[in-house]
Structure 1
Amino acid sequence: MITRRNLKWRLVVHYTWKSMLYYMLLSIAVYLLHDYFELLHLHLPFNTITALSTALAIFLGFKNNNAYDRWWEGRKIWGLLVNYSRAWTREVITMIMSEDIDQVTEVTQLQHRMVYRHIAFVHALRVFLRKKHAYNETGQQEMFEEANDYSDTISFLSPNEYKVFCQKNNPPNYLLELQGEDLKRAYKKGWLSDFRFVKLEQTLVEFNNIQGRSERIKNTPFPRQYSFFSRVFVFIHASLLPFVFVEELGWAAMPVSVIISFVFLCLDLVGERAEDPFENRLEDVPLTSLSLTIETNVKEQWGEKDFPEKRQTGDGVVL
């Protein structure tokens, strides 16, 4: 997620230079053929581009609104995960208890296992939802597969759990199953009353809901007809602009056409970059940062102080 108020122009250029090069070459060619060589006599009326610009602006506005809704829903889902993680840790610590002094150590071990396993669930869900990217010095993205890289969970799971965990088709869901089994074990031993068992189970269900809602966004792409036709319409609009302005503006048609085309291109890119919030791109929901926030909060609730360091590029981007 980009946190800088002002975007770096090298990033803007990185995503727009190919299209901008086409706009500039087309504008120069139309001007030279029309005014310098006098070989081009095609001139489009101004009303033509006005109608097209209005329709395109409405279309891009609709696309961007819906793309932002997907991004914001993803952020709200992970905001709920932060809240329920804090609640889960508090409930495990305060609700699982035994009046038998001889069982205190065993209860504490169970609590520790469940609290730390939840941290592993959060990191696993992050990896499960997205691919990993690395950022080089120019701000460009280099993509690496992260399908089986759950190394962040190693320190929060037992060796046997981690071995089975890595072989599962849905590792985060497997961890929730283990949490449910530990709740059942605590209930049978009398460490949980009926009410407290149901309360903790309800929190586990919320984690299932959070994962399911995240997977729905991840596995259901933004309707491709919107993305495809927005690119087509922006291309057509930019291609017609020089033919509209060259007769009235002469050489000034070149910068005017390029600037107007740049505006519509950026509007299209804003929606395109926001429509898939779990791909770990520059503009996406900062799942890594949120995961580390949850880990810090949970460890603090448990009474530890070895908090993880925040990861960011140092370039105004929170991962």
Structure 2
Amino acid sequence: MIVDRNLRWSVIFHYAWKSMLYYIILSIVVYLLHDYFEVMHLHLPFDTISALSTALAIFLGFKNNNAYDRWWEARKIWGLLVNYSRAWTRQVVTMIIATDPTDPEEAKAVKEFQKQMIYRHMGFVHALRVFLRRRHDYNETKIREIYEEENDYADARSFLAPKEFQLFCHKNNPPNYLLELQGEDLKRAYEKGWLSDFRFMKLEESLVEFNNIQGKSERIKNTPFPRQYSFFSRVFVFIHASLLPFVFIEELGWVSMPISVIISFVFLCLDLVGERSEDPFENRLEDVPLTDISLTIETNVKEQWGNKDFPEKKRVEGVVF
């Protein structure tokens, strides 16, 4: 997620330079044909572009609003994950109780069990982040080399037992596997008497919420923004930019070149804003900062447990991943 108020022009032109080159070449060609080769029939009436500009602005506004809704829904889902992670840690610590608090061996076993449940949850959070970002092919070039962070299940290794991690890595849905382990361990705690019926149900409800959070995230990940909107927005922006020089050349002369390029650039940016916001789990500059949120959860949970070994967050040139 980009957090600086000012965007880097190098990043903007990384995505826009091909279209900008086309706009510049087209405007120059139209100017030369009109003024030097006196091809007078190149001119188009202003009403033509005016109607198209209005329709295109409405279309891009609709697309961008819906693209932002997807991004904001993803952020709200992971905000819930933060809240339920804090609640889960509190529940594990306060609700899993030894049947005989005076027995040091049982008290130690309960403490180890609590730690296992809490640390496995941190593994789940990191695993879910990787799972949502992992299933696609990264094709971006130099900008990815600058900004891309590691996206690997190894981030969950330190929170899981070695045997669990080996099995975890071979699962089709690793985060869901960890939730299954959590449920099985809750059942064992209940059988040992460490959980009452009520406390068992409350902890199980929290696991269900984690399932819901994962399912909602997968729905956004696996259901792309309707591609007809993305396709036709690109087509309409291209048509609009191709007509602009023909509208202004008669009245503005050489000034039509920078004017048409600037107007085309504005509509191109509007299209790119929607395109870069519609899929919030692709590990790109504009996406929901899953890594940062995961580290926030890890920090909060460790603090609740009493571990001061907090992870270090980082920001790369105004971008938070």
Q: Scaled by the length of structure 2, what TM-score is found?
A: 0.95
Match for residue 201 of structure 2 among 198, 202, 205:
198
Corresponding position of 1:316: 318
Corresponding position of 2:49: 49
Q: How does 1:126-205 map to 2 (within 5 A)?
A: 126-131=129-134, 140-142=143-145, 149-205=152-208
Matches of 1:105 and 1:270, distance apart in 2 = 54
Corresponding position of 1:247: 250
Contact persistence 1:56–1:233 (CA under 8 A): yes
3-state SS in 1 of match to 2:285 = coil
Deviation track 1:237-292 (CA, whole Å, cap 9, x = no partner) reads 00000000001111111111001000000000000000000011000000000000
Whichever residue aligns with residue 42 of structure 2, its letter is L
Contact persistence 2:44–2:247 (CA under 8 A): yes
Match for residue 269 of structure 2 among 254, 266, 269:
266
Deviation track 1:207-244 (CA, whole Å, cap 9, x = no partner) reads 00000000000000000000000000000000000000
Shift of residue 311, structure 1, vs aligned partner: 2.9
Q: Which runs of 5+ in 1 are unaligned?
A: none
Shift of residue 312, structure 1, vs aligned partner: 2.5
Shift of residue 316, structure 1, vs aligned partner: 0.2
Matches of 1:169 and 1:145, distance apart in 2 = 23
Corresponding position of 2:67: 67
Deviation track 1:89-130 (CA, whole Å, cap 9, x = no partner) reads 000000000141321111111100000000000000000000
Matches of 1:226 and 1:13, distance apart in 2 = 23
Corresponding position of 2:116: 113
Shift of residue 39, structure 1, vs aligned partner: 2.8
Aligned length: 315
Q: How does 1:19-30 map to 2 (within 5 A)?
A: 19-30=19-30
Shift of residue 42, structure 1, vs aligned partner: 2.0
Whichever residue aligns with residue 32 of structure 1, its letter is L
Corresponding position of 2:18: 18
Whichever residue aligns with residue 37 of structure 2, its letter is F
Matches of 1:173 and 1:156, distance apart in 2 = 16
Matches of 1:66 and 1:16, distance apart in 2 = 22
3-state SS in 2 of match to 1:252 = helix
Matches of 2:224 and 2:232, distance apart in 1 = 15
Contact persistence 1:133–1:281 (CA under 8 A): no
Shift of residue 146, structure 1, vs aligned partner: 7.5
**Does the C-alpha gap of structure 1 residues 12 and 144 become closer, same or farther in structure 2, counting only changes over 3 Å?**
closer
3-state SS in 1 of match to 2:313 = coil
Matches of 1:166 and 1:203, distance apart in 2 = 24
Deviation track 1:167-205 (CA, whole Å, cap 9, x = no partner) reads 100000000000001110111111111111110000000
Contact persistence 1:70–1:217 (CA under 8 A): yes
1:307 aligns with 2:306: no
**Does the C-alpha gap of structure 1 residues 144 and 263 become closer, same or farther in structure 2, counting only changes over 3 Å?**
closer
Q: Which runs of 5+ in 2 are unaligned?
A: none
Shift of residue 139, structure 1, vs aligned partner: 7.1
Corresponding position of 1:91: 91
Contact persistence 2:77–2:213 (CA under 8 A): yes
Name the % identity: 77
Matches of 1:217 and 1:133, distance apart in 2 = 17
**Displaced runs of 4+ in structure 1, greater than 3 A?**
131-134, 142-147
Q: Scaled by the length of structure 1, what TM-score is found?
A: 0.95
**Does the C-alpha gap of structure 1 residues 110 and 296 become closer, same or farther in structure 2, counting only changes over 3 Å?**
same
Q: CA RMSD in A?
A: 1.9
Corresponding position of 2:31: 31
Matches of 1:88 and 1:219, distance apart in 2 = 27
Corresponding position of 1:257: 260
Corresponding position of 2:235: 232
**Does the C-alpha gap of structure 1 residues 146 and 133 become closer, same or farther in structure 2, counting only changes over 3 Å?**
farther
Shift of residue 141, structure 1, vs aligned partner: 1.4
Contact persistence 1:97–1:107 (CA under 8 A): yes
Shift of residue 309, structure 1, vs aligned partner: 0.4
Matches of 1:133 and 1:256, distance apart in 2 = 38
Matches of 2:293 and 2:72, distance apart in 1 = 14
